Structure 1
Amino acid sequence: MLLLTHPALARTRLLSAADWDLVAAFHARCSEQNLLRRWGRTHLTPRDLTRLLTQSLCWIGLDADERPLALVCVGPVSGESGVVDLGLQVADDHHRQGLGTALALQAAGIARTGGVHTLTAYTQASNAPMLRLMERLGPSRRTRDGPHVEVRVALDALASDPRPSSGAASP
């Protein structure tokens, strides 16, 4: 379990394939745009979750009523030693409240403790929220790939107290 302090979260816990109903409930709280931005499509299956979990560690953030608020995953990228990709999705009604930043910081900290030196995110170039989040984690490097961009953050420079962009509450 992640040790995380954020007012919206009661707890976080590791996700397993048996949690499909919880993931489906989470995705039901997300708009099509949110799902497209995170997954590249609007519908996921239990098989998709199983494949993700064979390659990544995933956590789900729950509120006091055990409703899912966020999903975060870290997993290896194309065989590069010491490099993991960050996957993050927050329920629409909890955007811009610092929840994604708090979860990303925790995931990055756990990855760094496990010997990872670089955190990446591959996202649409128009995904301004994810690009801002990665910049808040620390100095980043962007590489454009058509309509997408890869952002890399060196975890040795991980910000311990990132400053939120204007309009976002701090974690």
Structure 2
Amino acid sequence: MRHGRGPPGQGVPARCCAVRPSALRLLIHEPPLATIRSASAADWPLADLLHRACSEANMVLRWGRPGVVRRDFARLLEHGEVWIGLGADGRPLAMVSVGPVSREAGVVDLGLQVADAHQRRGIGTLLTWHAADHAHRLGAHTLAAYTDASNTPMLRLLARLGPAVHTRDGSHLDVRVRLGDAPAGHGSW
């Protein structure tokens, strides 16, 4: 598997420390994820294809509405880092974003979407760990996710990252997870 920055279709070799053994075991049984790479505005067709591979119900859980437009994708890119997980055939399987859109120093917001056919294979967990590791290296101390309280898979994923604090907001939860105790790297988050 490869991940990192690069032109579409290219990545850099995965670092061992970016993949936790439990995620690796999940992917070994059926390794559909071949590449994790940074996204750019030119990747809108891939993002659109990914979202079309998601049910309306899952789009509402992630976005609060049944569909997204190019402007939504542009906002993600503008406000943080976005990565796309691609299969061996180059098709998008998942996308994760992390950025300081909560306006709280050291706190980054997480966004995650996995195509329906590829859920429960560890792809979302792997991408979340990748994004959390990146954010921590840039100085973030807390990962936040605003999700529907009924989104059990996301709540389980966040719990695997570490102890989480949940704050109810109507039918949603603001979930906060501390990003490690080691000093953060150099950066602006």
Q: Which position in structure 2 is the counterpart of 1:16?
A: 40
Deviations along 1:12-62, whole A, 9 cap, x unmatched? 111111111111111111111111111111121111111221101100000
Residue identity over aligned pairs, in percent, reads: 56
Runs of 4+ in 1 over 4 A off after TM superposition: none
Q: Can you give the 5+ residue segments of structure 1 that lack an aligned partner in the other structure?
A: 159-171
Q: Which position in structure 2 is the counterpart of 1:57?
A: 81
What is the Cα deviation at residue 86 of structure 1? 0.7
Deviations along 1:136-162, whole A, 9 cap, x unmatched? 00011100011000110001159xxxx
Deviations along 1:57-95, whole A, 9 cap, x unmatched? 100000000000000000113311110011001111111
Q: Which position in structure 2 is the counterpart of 1:87?
A: 111
TM normalised by structure 2 equals 0.79
Q: Secondary structure at the match of 1:131?
A: helix
Contact 1:134 1:140 in 2 (8 A): yes
Q: Does 1:119 align with 2:147?
A: no
Q: Which position in structure 1 is the counterpart of 2:172?
A: 148
Contact 1:139 1:157 in 2 (8 A): no
The one-letter code of the counterpart of 1:151 is V
Size of the aligned set, in residue pairs, is 158
CA-based RMSD: 1.5
Q: Secondary structure at the match of 1:144?
A: strand
Q: Secondary structure at the match of 1:79?
A: coil
CA distance in 1, matches of 2:45, 2:101: 27
Q: Which position in structure 1 is the counterpart of 2:187?
A: none
The one-letter code of the counterpart of 1:100 is G
CA distance in 1, matches of 2:95, 2:181: 24
CA distance in 1, matches of 2:41, 2:67: 16
Q: Can you give the 5+ residue segments of structure 2 that lack an aligned partner in the other structure?
A: 6-13, 183-189
CA distance in 1, matches of 2:120, 2:140: 27
The one-letter code of the counterpart of 2:166 is R
Q: Which position in structure 2 is the counterpart of 1:73?
A: 97
1:108 to 115, 121, 132: 132
